[in-house]
Amino acid sequence: MSIAALKARLPAYAKDVGLNLSSIAEEDGLTAQQKYGLMVACGHATRNGEVAAALEAEAAPHLAPEALDAARAAAAIMAMNNIYYRFVHLATNAEYRAMPARLRMSVVGKPGVEKVDFELWSLAVSAVNGCGLCIDSHEKVLREAGIGAATIQTAVRFAAVIQSAAVALETLGFAAAAAE
């Protein structure tokens, strides 16, 4: 499946979602690795197999195997980190902020791709997962690396569009279940 096939599966009420999918597919303000890595990382972050498979199929011809694995790793590691650090941030008991996380996350330090690309993917996944502490942390690293606000905003736009596609497809399943 590809983005075109994914768009074809969207219900009529999600026309804007399809138009936005076309927009990210045509995005030219990112490197190919950044763009297609965002598709893969955000696709996996939605936890929707159809979306993840379609975006992997779209991205695979444009990514080296190491970049494909790094994008998957960004989704996986941020799934863990976003839960943990969102808890630390939201808990009123400050004692948790002083405790070591004791979570293995070596892929963050050595992702197998340019650090900036991995940080961009991690930021977008953190947006999908709603972890403000992680969003701030990754945005700070990106800004210190010279990445501008427009690129960061583009990554979050990818996250928003891809998440909306997953929601639109899930509503099809709800409608089918209700009709039975």
User: How do residues 26-50 score in pLDDT, each as one tens digit?
Assistant: 999 999 999 999 999 999 999 999 9
CA distance 45 to 128: 7
Handedness of CA 50, 44, 15, 176 (dihedral sign): positive
> Which pLDDT belongs to residue 95?
96
Confidence class for position 179, pLDDT limits 50, 70, 90: low
Catalytic residue among 108, 133, 134, 155: 134
Number of domains observed in the structure of the chain: 1
Indicate the pTM of the whole model.
Answer: 0.92
CA 121 to chain CA centroid, nearest Å: 6
CA distance 165 to 172: 11
Q: How many CB atoms lie within 10 A of CB 77?
A: 20
| Per-residue b or e along 39-55, where b marks 16 or more CB atoms closer than 10 Å to that residue's CB | bbbbbbbbebebbbbbb
> Which pLDDT belongs to residue 41?
98
Report pLDDT digits (tens) over 63-77: 999 999 999 999 999
In angstroms, what is the C-alpha Rg of the chain? Answer: 17
SS3 10: coil
CA distance 34 to 53: 18
> Which pLDDT belongs to residue 63?
98
* pLDDT surpasses 60 at 78: yes
Catalytic residue among 108, 131, 133, 147: 131
Report pLDDT digits (tens) over 89-132: 999 999 999 999 898 888 888 899 999 999 999 999 999 999 99
* pLDDT surpasses 80 at 146: yes
Host domain of residue 17: 3-179
Whichever domain contains 145, its CATH number is 1.20.1290.10
| Residue 131 is a catalytic residue | yes
